[in-house]
Amino acid sequence: MDVIANAKDRMQKTLSVLERDLATLRAGRANAQVLDRITVECYGTNMPINQVGNISSPEPRMLVIAPYDVSQLNAIEKAIQKSELGINPTSDGKLIRLIFPELTEERRKELSKTVRKKGEEAKVAIRSIRRDAIETVKKQKKDSEITEDDQKQLEDDIQKLTDNMVKDIDKIIADKEKEIMAV
């Protein structure tokens, strides 16, 4: 049974990675998670942006970053400009404001394609985990660790688990596409 527990754990991690990846996609609304992948060079090391300042969202389409150390303001601005975010930060000497423009129809469709692509990658990863688990079960049968009936039952359970995970991925993708396409 540890084969199924292992496969389920790996599949859950794949789902978590997908959700984290999709959270970093900009969907018209300001979301602090879009800054998660940006690192700032300060004090001789690269640090995540949320460790060098407080991030808040006072309005639906604006993020405000209040650096813990005002001397790091320029470094934070440069890191945002270098990122793939595509937003120019504005600074008043104490705070950095990021204003998220309304997404165009074309950009929404691009993002939608990206979401579907990430979903497909997650499904491929899930199927790969299924294949590994089934190979493990077949090896156990070959080594006479389990009976043929156990093998069939385990393979059925692994397939059910895979089907459920694929349904979860489809739901996550549909929710994210709905969020992106909402005007």
The rounded mean pLDDT for the chain is 86
What percentage of the chain reaches a pLDDT higher than 90? 32
Average pLDDT over residues 111-128: 92
**Per-residue confidence (pLDDT) for residue 177, from 0 to 100:** 87
65 versus 128: the higher-pLDDT residue is 128
What pLDDT is recorded for position 34?
74
Average pLDDT of the residues in 48-76:
85
For residue 114, the one-letter residue type is T
Give me the mean pLDDT over the 80-94 stretch. 80
Instruction: Please tell me which residue, 144 or 132, carries the higher pLDDT value.
Output: 132
Enumerate domains of the chain plus CATH numbers.
Answer: 2-23+104-181 (1.10.132.20), 32-99 (3.30.1360.40)
- Written as six digits, the tokens of 79 are 């890191």
* Per-residue model confidence (pLDDT) at position 26: 63
Question: Pick from 111, 123, 112: which is nearest to 17 by CA?
Answer: 123
Residue corresponding to tokens 């604006």: 62
Q: Which of 120, 114, 128 is nearest to 169 (CA)?
A: 120
Q: Are 76 and 65 in contact (CB under 8 A)?
A: yes
pLDDT at 27: 63
Task: Give me the pLDDT at residue 51, please.
Answer: 84
- How deeply is 40 buried, as exposed, middle or buried, from its count of CB atoms within 10 A (0-12, 13-18, 19+)? buried
Q: Tell which wins on pLDDT, 45 or 132.
A: 132
Does residue 118 contact residue 177 with C-beta atoms inside 8 Å? no
Residue 45 has pLDDT above 70, yes or no: yes
Inform me whether the pLDDT recorded for 37 exceeds 80.
no
pLDDT of 152 = 92
Question: Which pLDDT score is estimated for 176?
Answer: 87
Mean pLDDT value of segment 78-94: 81
The stretches of the chain forming alpha helices (DSSP H) are 2-23, 73-82, 105-142, 148-181
Tokens of 54: 């407080």
